[in-house]
Amino acid sequence: MDQPSGRSFMQVLCEKYSPENFPYRRGPGMGVHVPATPQGSPMKDRLNLPSVLVLNSCGITCAGDENEIAAFCAHVSELDLSDNKLEDWHEVSKIVSNVPHLEFLNLSSNPLNLSVLERTCAGSFSGVRKLVLNNSKASWETVHMLLQELPELEELFLCLNDYETVSCSSICCQSLKLLHITDNNLQDWTEIRKLGVMFPSLDTLILANNHLNAIEEPDDSLARLFPNLRSISLHKSGLHSWEDIDKLNSFPKLEEVRLLGIPLLQPYTTEERRKLVIARLPSVSKLNGSVVTDGEREDSERFFIRYYVDVPQEEVPFRYHELITKYGKLEPLADVDLRPQSSARVEVHFKEQVEEMSIRLDQTVAELKKQLKTLVQLPTSNMRLYHFDHEAPFGPEEMKYSSRALHSFGIRDGDKIYVESKTK
């Protein structure tokens, strides 16, 4: 059912969090708060408000009564207004300015690109630490205006905004630690490097689904651009060269990398992809969400040496020579067939008779007796079999159970099968 148009924040708040629709609940973020309200307020002492308000997809277009917002939302710390119809920054400012303890604000999928954010409105956001503007088509001018007024901003989400370029601000945002800017169209490294200039304290950079085609930057410059970067996601980027992977070593604090779905790795097997990347990134402790253990790193580095051992010297990567210094030259692993043996050549002993024959190990004791029936001239019901392994310390083992498979006895080439007639 379509939401009615022209609804205010306060109207939706009263409807959703009335005692009838939002009963008393306990738990983190769910503590009920019934604030003192202005004289004459029709909702006095009636709303059950948690500190985390979720008002997404409610058709909100405006703020409503600011006095009531201030009265009811003084304790609110998180506010989700995503997927509404807010298109005027002035109306958003009216809401935010009356929520003094607000730290998290989600404005995703609101048509806010239809209005201009003025500095007086941007000042209302000053206490926000986490701001989500996904699919809002917010311009870089709007983003810069907000950054200048949010001195404590730590996390910024700018996904699905159709960015093809990055507009660099003259003022750095020293507080930002996480930037989530996936699903745009930032293909050129010259645009990505601007993010390092603007956000020098960046710890986590999520660039998935941006089709970045290469990391074109001198190693020493990369270290200066992103001196604090600990985690980067390049999922489904356009990287197609091992040199791009090697460039990641230039980030001095990098520990975590995500690299699934890039053209470079498509021709390789799953095992090759992970091991070759781990071997090239000696400082990375987590790849694609999985911890790289010391054992896995050593296995990967040894795999890397063997992978390139027969490659012409002019095509061998520099990392190969570093690992040769660490481990020395390694011989290729022996090609060992670990499949279970399907048959065995055994000696069959019956009285004075000895016959060498091949037996299938997937058959049962009962089936072996049928095979031996002609040889020993005994009915299967009068046949007792023993398996003798010359390395076994306890002598022959009677093959008692007719349904037991022969491979479970560990029969190998050269073993002996003794046949005896059951005593009458």
Q: What is the pLDDT of residues 300-344, one digit of tens each?
A: 999 999 999 888 988 899 999 999 999 998 877 655 566 667 899
For tokens 């970045």, what's the residue? 212
Q: What is the pLDDT of residues 175-220, one digit of tens each?
A: 999 999 999 999 999 999 999 999 999 999 999 999 999 999 998 8
Mean pLDDT, all residues of the chain: 89
Give the whole-angstrom CA distance, residue 333 versus residue 208: 37
**Banded pLDDT at 58 (limits 50, 70, 90):** very high
Q: What is the pLDDT of residues 220-242, one digit of tens each?
A: 899 999 999 999 999 999 999 99
Q: What is the dihedral of CA 44, 46, 52, 56, to 10 degrees?
A: -100
Beta strands in 112-260 (DSSP E): 130-132, 155-157, 178-180, 204-206, 231-233, 256-258
| Confidence at residue 37, expressed as pLDDT on a 0 to 100 scale | 43
**Reduced DSSP (H G I as helix, E B as strand, rest coil) percent helix, strand, coil of the chain, to 5:** 30, 15, 55
Beta bridge partners, 418, equal 349, 386
Query: Does the pLDDT at position 128 exceed 80?
Result: yes
Determine what percent of the chain is predicted with pLDDT higher than 70: 89
Give the whole-angstrom CA distance, residue 58 versus residue 120: 27
CA-based nearest residue to 346, from 423, 400, 399, 401: 399
For tokens 């404590």, what's the residue? 152
| Confidence at residue 342, expressed as pLDDT on a 0 to 100 scale | 87
Give the whole-angstrom CA distance, residue 192 versus residue 187: 9
Give the whole-angstrom CA distance, residue 59 versus residue 4: 6
* The one-letter amino acid at 132: V
**Banded pLDDT at 48 (limits 50, 70, 90):** low
pLDDT average, residue stretch 110-116: 95
In the chain the domains, ranked by start, together with CATH numbers, are 7-13+47-327 (3.80.10.10), 343-421 (3.10.20.90)
Residue 80, number of CB atoms within 10 A of its CB: 18
Query: Does the pLDDT at position 44 exceed 50?
Result: no
Residue 308 and residue 316 in contact, taking contact as beta carbons nearer than 8 Å: yes
Query: Does the pLDDT at position 169 exceed 90?
Result: no
| Confidence at residue 20, expressed as pLDDT on a 0 to 100 scale | 66
**pTM over cut 0.85:** no
